[in-house]
Amino acid sequence: MEKEELSSILQVLENPIRRRIVKRLSHGPSYPLQLSKELGLGQPLVARHLALMEKAGLVASSMEESPGAPDRRSYHLARSISITLDVAPNLFIQRGFAFGTIKKKGKEVPEEIASLVTDISNISGKDEKSLASLSSILERVDRRLDELDEERAALLYVRNMAMSSASEAIERVEGEDKKRVIYSILEEHIRDVEGISESLDLREKVVRTILDDLTEMLA
């Protein structure tokens, strides 16, 4: 996800009312009057938030027929995304990605995940008895996600340790632009002149000179 797109989504989700609306829409489409009643909010307020969310591309809408009443506009979530924001001394990572598919670029889908997909495909959502099987699968998936979160937290701790040590070394470097370039290399893993220049809004000539000075340190 591009930085501008991620910033737009974060700006939408920073509002607790909009997060409540998103949670409700995650259970299925709805329309302003229904959302207003379920969430205990004024309909004009709900409509304003929906308009902002639609503009950001987080929700979409369409007109649907209403028996015995005028057609009404129904809203649904338009994106399947994951956003993480990690903040600590010597650490700032913001990431967003879509997960509308299990395909991974250049990689095979892990057997465990492929097996879960097959199990779900063999279950009919129209059969009420299928809920027990789906509940079991959801428990397995959520348990695995919890394990991955714990592993990720440990890796972030290790990363933060490494960056803390790196920061001590960087503090001994003279020149703020040099320090910025080093942080860019360590945090964004960018080593080409053009990439660093664009990321830090520094002239390429300046970046090239700095990289030449840092060759021995970063080799």
Instruction: Give the CATH number, domain containing residue 53.
Output: 1.10.10.10
Phi, psi (rounded to 5 degrees) for 15: -85, 125
Residue 164 located in a structural domain: no
pLDDT tens, position by position, 69-126:
788 899 999 999 999 999 988 888 899 998 877 766 667 888 888 899 899 988 877 7
Do 71 and 97 belong to one domain? no
Averaged pLDDT for residues 165-181: 90
Query: What pTM value is reported for the model?
Result: 0.78
Do 125 and 105 belong to one domain? yes
Domain that holds residue 188: 173-218
8 Å CB contact between 83 and 96: yes
Residue 165 located in a structural domain: no
Do 155 and 89 belong to one domain? yes
Cβ contacts of 19 within 8 Å, gap of 6 or more: 13
Do 152 and 106 belong to one domain? yes
Number of domains making up the chain: 3
Instruction: Give the pLDDT score at 106.
Output: 61
Do 10 and 24 belong to one domain? yes
E-strand ranges in 38-193 read 59-66, 69-77, 81-88, 91-98
pLDDT tens, position by position, 125-139:
777 778 889 999 999
Instruction: Give the pLDDT score at 165.
Output: 92
Q: How confident is the model at residue 3 (pLDDT cuts 50, 70, 90)?
A: confident
Pick from 168, 218, 217: nearest CA to 189: 218
Do 54 and 19 belong to one domain? yes
